[in-house]
Amino acid sequence: MKANGPMVDIKKLQINDLELVRQLIHLFQTEDEIAQPTYASKERLLELLSNPNFYMIAAFQNGILVGGLTAYILRMYKENIAKVLLYEIEVRQEWRRQGLGTLLINYLIECAQQERAKKILIPVTKTNQNALSFYKAIQGNFTADDSLVSITIT
């Protein structure tokens, strides 16, 4: 796959990519400016990577990890289809606006089609104008009608 510039490699991370998984989680947290990044245990990461409904996708430019995403396949019970929940997407600050986010989303769309998914659900806060603008720019049939309600469990 190619973005604006050098060749980009995108791949779904597997169990044998544990170090890349850790690097991608670190990228997510540092780009979100989390001061004290936290990491799941090796067992938890292996559990996630063993789950066929969990996707961790990484983008590399010239062999450097520059972004990635995580997503979950949600199987519907009424029909033999699925929906995809895009949980997190991030591109390193210095690599943004070069088409990498779009490549990641397009790769996820290809994966979703193989899973017979008909929709990608993307939780975004109303105040995150950068994210909303990004999703509007990459998909012509983007709708922001739905609300995502969260319930905090104590």
Q: What are the pLDDT digits (tens) for 82-108?
A: 999 999 999 998 988 888 988 999 999
Which own/partner pairs from 129-135 qualify as long-range (CB within 8 Å, at least 24 positions apart)? Answer: 134/101
Classify domain 8-138 at the CATH topology level.
Aminopeptidase (3.40.630)
Q: Report the side by side order of strands in the sheet with 82-91.
A: 8-12, 54-61, 64-75, 82-91, 117-121
Domain spans, the chain: 8-138
| Residue (of 63, 39, 49) closest to 12 by Cα position | 49
- In angstroms, the Cα distances linking 70 to 27, 49, 59 are 12, 11, 12
Q: Write down the pLDDT at residue 95.
A: 86
The predicted pLDDT at position 36 comes to 83
Predicted confidence at residue 97, as pLDDT, reads 86
Half-sphere exposure of 31 (CA within 13 A, CB side): 20
Q: What is the pLDDT of residue 2?
A: 46
| DSSP notation for 29-46 | HHHTT-SS-----HHHHH
Position 150 confidence tier, pLDDT thresholds 50, 70, 90 = low
Which pair of tokens denotes residue 48? 């996630």
pLDDT in tens, 3-46: 455 688 999 999 999 999 999 999 999 887 788 878 889 999 99
**Cα–Cα distance measured from residue 126 to residue 141, given in angstroms and rounded to the nearest whole number:** 18
Query: How does pLDDT run across 50-77, given as a tens digit for each residue?
Result: 999 999 999 999 899 999 999 999 998 8
Per-residue pLDDT at 73: 95
- Predicted confidence (pLDDT) at residue 79 exceeds the cutoff of 80: yes
137, with CB counted inside 10 A (0-12, 13-18, 19+), is exposed
Check residue 144 and report its DSSP letter.
Answer: -
